[in-house]
Amino acid sequence: MKAPSFTLPRDGGQTVKLKDYSGRKLVIFFYPRADTPGCTLEAADFSKLASAFAASQTAVLGVSADPVKAQERFRDKHQLTVPLLSDEEHDMLDAYRAWGQKSMYGKTFEGIIRTTVLIDREGKIARIWSKVRVPGHADEVLAAARSL
């Protein structure tokens, strides 16, 4: 399946588009909320592996519905190196099926479903991880990217 296109603002004030990564592998990890424990661990793990992803010719993007300013505070506080995109309107989240019904403590609500997508050099989705468990996840994604 072809990866849905997107154009989103990112930390630092730039705009990022899927076509910016044409001909390259791309990992997109969708996380529920900046500066929460699981999201911090996930973003830090991808940041720690940034050079390994780069060596495998794979770019990495993090996406949440947080505003850009919150993304920038998150980046600065935890010294994150991966670009963080803001999808406040949920357009990309919907397109990648990372927005949906969740439940916690018996309550049902709409929110970001922790999901990671690996896109190949041709712009096709090579793999999707849904309902991600954070520990070891970035390493697993790196191994999959290297195998493409």
* pTM exceeds 0.75 for this model: yes
**CA distances, 147 to each of 30, 53, 58, 82, 142 (Å):** 22, 12, 11, 21, 9
Find the catalytic residue in 8, 16, 39, 119. 39
Task: Tell me what pLDDT residue 79 has.
Answer: 97
Q: What is the structure's pLDDT at 51?
A: 97
Query: Residue 128: pLDDT band by 50, 70, 90 thresholds?
Result: very high
Is 39 an active-site residue? yes
Q: What pLDDT band is residue 142 in, cutting at 50, 70 and 90?
A: very high
Average pLDDT estimate for 25-34: 97
Are 11 and 129 spatial neighbours (Cβ–Cβ below 8 Å)?
no
How many CB atoms within 10 Å of residue 67? 13
Q: Is 109 a residue whose pLDDT tops 90?
A: no
What confidence score (pLDDT) does residue 107 get?
A: 85
- pLDDT of residue 25 exceeding 90, the answer is yes
Q: Mean pLDDT score of the chain, rounded to an integer?
A: 95
- Please compute the mean of the pLDDT values over residues 21-38 and round it to a whole number: 96
pLDDT tops 90 at residue 104: no
Which residue is associated with the tokens 């018996």? 106
